[in-house]
């Protein structure tokens, strides 16, 4: 459906003579329609109005969001963040008088209850606040990149603001693994800005970075953050916007619930098929599980081959499961369950996993 929509849109673009003013205006219309669809999909009853910025990538979206914040003196990244967050935030923090702080995780965190980790995290933030009263920007990943668990943001963000000071704390939620992967209401209702990419769970293959900003004075509007604010209108840009618009059109027409139900069924089937020699990492945390997860050999079991060979074998068998080598003894696999998988693929995946563990 998305590809058909994209092809029909590009056919119309081509009829307008690419490079002409009419074709360029058509691409700009697509951009505005994308923003309109995003607003419909992501608005909540508590926050129906938002400002939408679309960037060439999620990395640039995060940088553009930081640029809108007046004089941040300390940028704090909470644990379990997406890999691109720390480089982007630390680069921005090279500005004069801006301090960067990434709260770290420890090996035992993967087996600790979330409540313990939350208390430890808030304690660290209170220690930072006790040193001075610098205005802070806190960046939080909505879903743990490594484990696929959703953080309880409706309770975490108020505690973060209390620890650092309500009036001097800006909270950015990074939702690349969250947008389209279950309800985002907790993040959308409590964050100052929500940043995500369009090519994970939003059906699109175009990797735009999207920022939603909230506030009492916000008026619904759409902005492009690249190319000095001018929406690009080349053929390649037209196809990317057409792909994004197609995915958003499908999501608005069918609704997230249809895809979520399908992913829930896939998760249930996967857990039934998963060999007993493997276990879900982070299950003891007690957090909401989403449509991707991390697995490793159960106690007393081990992979038959090294991490590099494991990657090669999975690629040879056409299985997409990123390998994470946490340390010399700990190797994890991240398993995603998008809506388009079928039971045959799950059977092949679980058969392969069973064969790789001794």
Question: In this predicted structure, what is the pLDDT of residue 218?
Answer: 44
- 358 residues of the chain, pLDDT tens digit each: 788 999 999 999 999 999 899 999 999 999 999 999 999 999 889 988 889 999 999 989 998 888 888 777 889 999 888 888 888 888 877 777 788 888 877 767 777 889 988 999 999 999 988 888 888 999 999 998 888 899 999 999 999 999 998 888 999 999 999 888 888 889 999 999 999 999 988 889 999 999 999 864 445 578 898 777 889 999 999 999 999 999 999 999 998 899 899 999 999 999 999 999 999 998 888 888 888 899 999 989 999 998 889 999 999 988 888 898 877 678 999 999 888 888 888 898 999 999 999 8
Kindly state the tokens that stand for 252.
Answer: 């608005």
Q: Within the chain, which residue ranges are assigned CATH 3.40.640.10?
A: 2-254
Q: What local confidence, expressed as pLDDT, does residue 289 receive?
A: 82
Residues of the chain with CATH 3.90.1150.10: 257-356
| CATH 3.40.640.10 for the 2-254 domain, yes or no | yes
Cβ atoms of 235 and 9 within 8 Å: the answer is no
Report which secondary-structure segment, H or E, holds 333. strand 331-336
Closest CA to 64 of 45, 77, 51: 51
pLDDT of residue 343: 84
Residue 338 has a pLDDT of 87
| Token digits of residue 7 | 């092809």
Q: How far is CA 283 from the centre of its chain?
A: 20
Considering the segment(s) 257-356 as one domain, its CATH architecture is Alpha-Beta Complex (3.90)
**Residue in the block written with tokens 């991390």:** 294
**What pLDDT is recorded for position 215?**
67
- pTM of the entire structure? 0.92
Residue 191: the pLDDT is 94
């Amino acid at each position: 459906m998305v590809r058909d929509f994209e092809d029909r849109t590009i056919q119309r673009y081509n009829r307008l003579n690419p490079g002409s003013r009419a074709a360029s205006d058509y691409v700009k219309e697509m951009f505005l329609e994308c923003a309109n669809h995003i607003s419909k999909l992501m608005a909540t009853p508590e926050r129906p109005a938002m400002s939408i910025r679309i960037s060439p990538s999620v990395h640039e979206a995060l940088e553009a969001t930081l640029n809108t914040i007046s004089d941040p003196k300390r940028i704090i990244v909470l644990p379990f963040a997406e890999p691109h967050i720390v480089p982007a935030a630390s680069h921005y923090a090279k500005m004069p008088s801006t301090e960067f702080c990434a709260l770290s995780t420890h090996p035992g965190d993967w087996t600790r209850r979330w409540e313990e980790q939350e208390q430890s995290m808030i304690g660290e933030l209170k220690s930072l606040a006790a040193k001075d009263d610098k205005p802070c920007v806190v960046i939080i990943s909505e879903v743990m990149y490594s484990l696929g668990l959703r953080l309880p943001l409706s309770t975490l963000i108020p505690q973060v603001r209390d620890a650092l000071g309500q009036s001097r704390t800006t909270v950015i939620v990074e939702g690349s693994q969250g947008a389209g992967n279950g309800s985002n209401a907790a993040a959308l209702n409590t964050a100052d800005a929500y940043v995500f990419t369009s090519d994970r769970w939003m059906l699109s293959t175009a990797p735009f970075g999207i920022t939603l900003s909230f506030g009492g004075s916000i008026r619904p509007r759409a902005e492009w953050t690249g190319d000095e604010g001018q929406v690009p209108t080349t053929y390649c840009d037209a196809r990317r916007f057409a792909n994004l618009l197609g995915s958003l059109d499908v999501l608005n027409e069918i609704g997230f619930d249809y895809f979520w139900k399908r992913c829930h069924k896939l998760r249930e089937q996967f857990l039934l098929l998963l060999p007993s020699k493997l276990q879900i990492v982070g299950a003891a945390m007690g957090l909401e599980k989403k449509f991707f997860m991390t697995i490793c050999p159960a106690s007393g079991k081990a992979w038959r081959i090294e991490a590099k060979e494991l990657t090669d074998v999975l690629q040879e068998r056409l299985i997409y499961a990123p390998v994470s080598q946490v340390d010399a003894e700990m190797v994890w696999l991240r398993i995603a369950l998008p809506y388009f998988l079928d039971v045959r693929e799950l059977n092949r995946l679980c058969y392969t996993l069973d064969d790789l563990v001794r």
